[in-house]
Chain A
Amino acid sequence: NAGVTQTPKFRILKIGQSMTLQCTQDMNHNYMYWYRQDPGMGLKLIYYSVGAGITDKGEVPNGYNVSRSTTEDFPLRLELAAPSQTSVYFCASSPGQGFTGEGYTFGSGTRLTVV
């Protein structure tokens, strides 16, 4: 049981380039999330999804896009990378409605540097 798998672990992008951060979970969780973690700022929610075909913006969605075509996958797309997007990105999942008390399962993170 792998849990939540993120790829790549590290990436350096040049300003203006694009990339997709991959996230896959094998727990049949309905809900999935993307957070960014900046030093001293905690975790900020970028986008989330409550099921296949349904996505919604979080606190800091600008510069990002997501899709959820299957229950397992929730990729995060960066278009026109900017230095402000240098961060550590975490994907997470949770069972969803009806599972009170359940927390999130996090991936290992992607460390992205934009130069």
Chain B
Amino acid sequence: AQRVTQPEKLLSVFKGAPVELKCNYSYSGSPELFWYVQYSRQRLQLLLRHISRESIKGFTADLNKGETSFHLKKPFAQEEDSAMYYCALRPTGTASKLTFGTGTRLQVTL
């Protein structure tokens, strides 16, 4: 069975500081990894998926199979980045249900 761990419940950074939201996973096969974001009182929305290797709103995430990690990074935090971030996993090549981490709340302060 797969498992996703987000060790930080809350991450508080100053505006302009770098951000790294940690995500570690355990899964014996090849996973697909995703980051979802939930802004205050809004629905969860897909932010990134590792298969696309894209940068969205300045965020990037690299799948590190050796360390079983998929950390979310941004070089300079903005106030509008304040939100709840969830890492999620599913086995590659399947339409299996996603397994979510418990989420990290990012607070960006002036």
A contact residues vs B (CB 8 Å cutoff): 30-31, 33, 35, 40-43, 45, 48, 50, 58, 90, 92, 94-101, 103-109
The yes or no answer to B110 lying at the interface (CB within 8 A) is no
With known contacts A42-B86, A42-B100, A42-B103, A100–B93 Cβ distance under 8 A: yes
Q: Which of B11-34 contact A (CB under 8 A)?
A: 32, 34
Q: Which residues of B contact A94 (CB under 8 A)?
A: 95
What's the Cα separation between A99 and B97 when bound, in Å? 13
Are the CB atoms of B92 and A104 closer together than 8 Å?
no
Are the CB atoms of A99 and B95 closer together than 8 Å?
yes
Q: Which residues of B contact A105 (CB under 8 A)?
A: 46
Question: Can you list 26 A-B contacts with CB-CB less than 8 angstroms, sorted by A residue number?
Answer: A31-B97, A33-B97, A35-B100, A40-B9, A41-B102, A42-B86, A42-B102, A42-B103, A43-B86, A43-B100, A48-B97, A58-B97, A95-B95, A97-B94, A98-B95, A100-B51, A100-B92, A101-B32, A101-B49, A103-B34, A103-B36, A103-B49, A103-B98, A104-B46, A105-B46, A107-B43
Chain B residues with a Cβ closer than 8 Å to the other chain, count = 24
Are the CB atoms of B45 and A106 closer together than 8 Å?
yes
Within 8 Å by CB of B46, from A40, A103, A108, lies: A103
What's the Cα separation between A96 and B95 when bound, in Å? 5
Q: Which residues of A contact B44 (CB under 8 A)?
A: 43, 90, 92, 104, 106
Q: Which of B67-93 contact A (CB under 8 A)?
A: 86, 88, 92-93
SS of A interface (majority)? loop
B contact residues vs A (CB 8 Å cutoff): 9, 32, 34, 36, 42-46, 49, 51-52, 86, 88, 92-95, 97-98, 100-103
Q: Which residues of B contact A104 (CB under 8 A)?
A: 36, 44, 46, 98
Q: Which residues of B contact A43 (CB under 8 A)?
A: 44, 86, 100
What's the Cα separation between A32 and B21 when bound, in Å? 28
Q: Which residues of B contact A107 (CB under 8 A)?
A: 43
Q: Which residues of A contact B94 (CB under 8 A)?
A: 97
